[in-house]
């Protein structure tokens, strides 16, 4: 393939998560008038910010209202969108292959397609890691996509209705993995129980709801400072969550979860949120180096070692931190920073100039415990060192992270209008999606 000149080149971004969608949008807006063509590829037609999936799963967030259409965003920002699952790559010909898209009854809606690129950016995010534990895939729910979250919500509503007809039968929900998703979901479940009772849909009060949060390590939220972990644990205990630390699950069956000590933790609903890995197909990308989690190994400039025209960002990238403290963590703020880095350096990329090292900046972490509390710490430019925050201030900062994501993809005017509509919906719509 003959190299093109100037900006008349094609950038293909695979993955429409926080980083990929922001990068495709901002690249197109900045460079489309100079001839740059940007194509975004995603297996789904719509986008939901992944940190909000636990709210979709409990009905606190209506995905039908908050989702973004990739096709509509493409028209607005000036990039192209292709729906489909990346299947393979040919680095010599600089092209990727997309699998056929099939309808509900299996018919082919879109055939196998080939996309040629000048630069390829992998931003496919991550999926939950089941660590090969027997029975997890069959009996546990994952919260990696809107479809999975919606399915859990429907199952949750049906289970509430069934259990509420019994005066004594409790509803037991077990969550494996006490990272941010597991902790936030456990709190949201109690909010759901309260709201369903208020709407008269369920007679199951919080005293008959048993939520068991299981963590293999010595404490919940292991990636966050210990004081935040302790504060979150205290709030969960006040809600009634049973926290089981130092508890390893060896198998899962229909009745519940079996620990390494032989104990059976019974549960009607089982959620697996323990760890992440990149999608399986990432390990088969034409000789590109991956680690044991299927993440593409990239250098400090986010380039893959085997091919300087291929980049990776977000959860699917294994990028060493410049301070030597392991790899960049799989967080939304990291994906946002990496997207901003590539946008800023794109002029150098097309000129084939050396790039500076991407430097991860930790601005802190916040965990939302539904309407009950928010805890976390602010770091970096937001405070000197680290400052722990709770309550209304923490909740305000937590919500602002989502607004920053919306600003990156919508701009100021549309984000303001969306925020205004959200406030109106809080008044005129039910607090839960009830159907």
Domains 10-126+278-350 and 132-274 share a fold: yes
pLDDT, position 378: 65
State if pTM tops 0.75. Answer: yes
pLDDT, position 94: 97
CB atoms within 10 A of CB 135: 17
pLDDT, the chain, mean: 89
- Of the two residues 402 and 174, the one the predictor is more confident about is 174
pLDDT digits (tens, 9 = 90+) for 275-306: 999 999 999 999 999 999 999 999 999 999 89
Residue 220: phi and psi, rounded to 5, are: -75, 165
pLDDT, position 339: 97
Residue 250: phi and psi, rounded to 5, are: -105, -25
DSSP-H helix ranges across 47-179: 53-58, 63-66, 70-77, 136-139, 146-164
pLDDT, position 427: 87
pLDDT digits (tens, 9 = 90+) for 30-49: 999 999 999 999 999 999 99
Give the span between the Cα atoms of 35 and 392, in whole angstroms.
46
pLDDT, position 383: 41
Residue reference for tokens 């949201």:
188
CB 57 within 8 A of CB 3: no
- Of the two residues 200 and 136, the one the predictor is more confident about is 136
Q: In the predicted model, is pLDDT for residue 110 greater than 70?
A: yes
Which listed CATH number (3.30.70.100, 3.50.50.60, 3.30.2350.10, 1.10.1740.10) goes with 132-274? Answer: 3.50.50.60
Binning pLDDT at 50, 70 and 90, where does residue 394 land? low
Binning pLDDT at 50, 70 and 90, where does residue 365 land? confident
pLDDT, position 205: 65
What angle (nearest 5°) sits at the alpha carbon of residue 176, between those of residues 174 and 180? Answer: 110
Phi-psi region of 41 (alpha: psi -120 to 50; beta: other; left: phi over 0): beta
Paired tokens of 433: 């999606």
- Of the two residues 284 and 165, the one the predictor is more confident about is 284
Give 380's contacts (C-beta < 8 A, 6+ positions apart): 361, 362, 363, 364
pLDDT, position 109: 94
Class of domain 10-126+278-350: alpha beta
In this prediction, residues 234-240 reach a mean pLDDT of 91
Q: In the predicted model, is pLDDT for residue 422 greater than 50?
A: yes
Helix, strand, or coil (residue 286): coil
Checking 88-96 for CB contacts under 8 A at 24+ apart, the result is: 88/284, 88/285, 88/286, 89/120, 89/285, 89/286, 89/288, 90/286, 91/286, 91/287, 91/288, 91/306, 91/307, 91/310, 93/1, 94/1, 94/118, 94/120, 94/309, 96/12, 96/14, 96/41, 96/120
> Domain residues of the chain, as ranges?
10-126+278-350, 132-274
Paired tokens of 158: 């049906």
Give 276's contacts (C-beta < 8 A, 6+ positions apart): 126, 127, 128, 129, 293, 315, 330
């Amino acid at each position: 393939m003959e190299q093109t000149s100037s900006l008349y080149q094609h950038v293909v971004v695979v993955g429409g998560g926080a980083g990929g969608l922001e990068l495709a949008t901002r690249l197109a807006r900045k460079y489309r008038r100079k001839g740059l063509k940007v194509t975004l590829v995603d297996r789904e037609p719509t986008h939901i910010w992944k940190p909000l999936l636990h709210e979709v799963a409990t009905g606190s967030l209506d995905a039908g209202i908050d989702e973004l259409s990739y096709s509509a965003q493409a028209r607005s920002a000036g990039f192209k969108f292709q729906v489909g699952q990346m299947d393979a790559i040919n680095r010599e010909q600089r092209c990727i292959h997309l699998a056929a898209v099939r309808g509900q009854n299996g018919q082919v809606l879109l055939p196998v397609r080939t996309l040629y690129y000048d630069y390829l950016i992998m931003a496919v995010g991550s999926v939950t890691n089941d660590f090969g534990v027997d029975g997890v895939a069959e009996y546990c729910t994952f919260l990696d996509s809107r479809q999975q979250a919606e399915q859990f919500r429907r199952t949750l509503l049906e289970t509430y209705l069934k259990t509420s007809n019994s005066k004594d039968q409790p509803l037991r929900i077990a969550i494996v993995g006490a990272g941010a998703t597991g902790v936030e979901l456990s709190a949201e479940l109690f909010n759901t129980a309260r709201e369903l009772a208020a709407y008269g849909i369920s007679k199951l009060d919080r005293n008959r709801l048993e939520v068991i949060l299981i963590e293999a390590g010595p404490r919940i939220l292991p990636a966050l400072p210990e004081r935040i972990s302790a504060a979150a644990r205290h709030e969960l205990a006040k809600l009634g969550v049973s926290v089981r630390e130092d508890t390893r699950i060896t198998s899962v069956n229909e009745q519940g979860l079996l620990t390494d000590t032989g104990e059976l933790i019974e549960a009607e609903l089982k959620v697996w949120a323990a760890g992440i890995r990149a999608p399986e197909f990432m390990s088969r990308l034409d000789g590109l180096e991956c680690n044991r989690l299927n993440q593409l190994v990239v250098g400090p400039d986010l380039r893959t070692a085997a091919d300087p025209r291929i980049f990776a960002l977000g959860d699917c990238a294994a990028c060493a931190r410049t301070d030597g403290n392991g790899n960049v963590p799989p967080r939304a703020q990291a994906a946002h920073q990496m997207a901003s880095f590539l946008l800023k350096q794109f002029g150098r990329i097309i000129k084939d100039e050396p790039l500076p090292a991407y430097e991860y900046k930790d601005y802190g972490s916040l965990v939302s415990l539904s309407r009950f509390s928010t805890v976390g710490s602010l770091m970096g430019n937001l405070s000197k060192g680290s400052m722990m925050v709770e309550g209304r201030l923490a909740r305000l900062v937590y919500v602002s992270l989502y607004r920053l994501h919306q600003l990156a993809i919508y701009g100021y005017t549309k984000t303001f209008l969306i925020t205004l509509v959200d406030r109106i919906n809080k008044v005129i719509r039910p607090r839960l999606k009830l159907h």
